[in-house]
């Protein structure tokens, strides 16, 4: 479990480091997620190496959304002023995500 957490946090730190050094306009944790995805895809690390910690983190995933909920409350007046634009952005991004997910599943998913 500790070893798998070390893998996950190492990729998080590496993503943050690359973001700062290369001035990437993407959050460091997202860069780290891409890095761990490619490391798993190209079998640089085994899934069994990160699975114990990832399963435990997924079990408590809902707790990681609490800070975002608090952030929404902190920006209530801003959200109130631009709620229509935010609603449109959420709907459009959800439709695009569903569409792209369907395309990816058709292309790479197993049929049957």
Return the domain boundaries, the chain: 1-59, 63-112
- Give me the pLDDT at residue 111, please: 59
- Give me the pLDDT at residue 64, please: 86
* pLDDT, tens digit, 9 for 90 and up, residues 48-59: 999 999 999 999
Give the dihedral of Cα atoms 88, 93, 96, 97; nearest 10 deg: -150
pTM, to two decimals: 0.64
Q: Which segments of the chain have a pLDDT < 50?
A: 112
């Amino acid at each position: 479990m500790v070893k798998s957490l070390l893998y996950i946090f190492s990729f998080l730190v590496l993503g943050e480091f690359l973001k700062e050094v290369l001035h990437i306009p993407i959050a460091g944790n997202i860069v780290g997620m891409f890095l761990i995805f490619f490391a798993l895809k190209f079998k640089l690390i085994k899934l069994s190496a990160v699975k114990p910690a990832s399963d435990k983190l997924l079990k408590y995933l809902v707790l990681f959304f609490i800070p975002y909920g608090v952030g929404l409350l902190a920006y209530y007046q801003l959200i109130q002023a631009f709620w229509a634009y935010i609603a449109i952005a959420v709907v459009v991004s959800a439709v695009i995500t569903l569409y792209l997910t369907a395309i990816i599943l058709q292309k790479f998913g197993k049929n049957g």
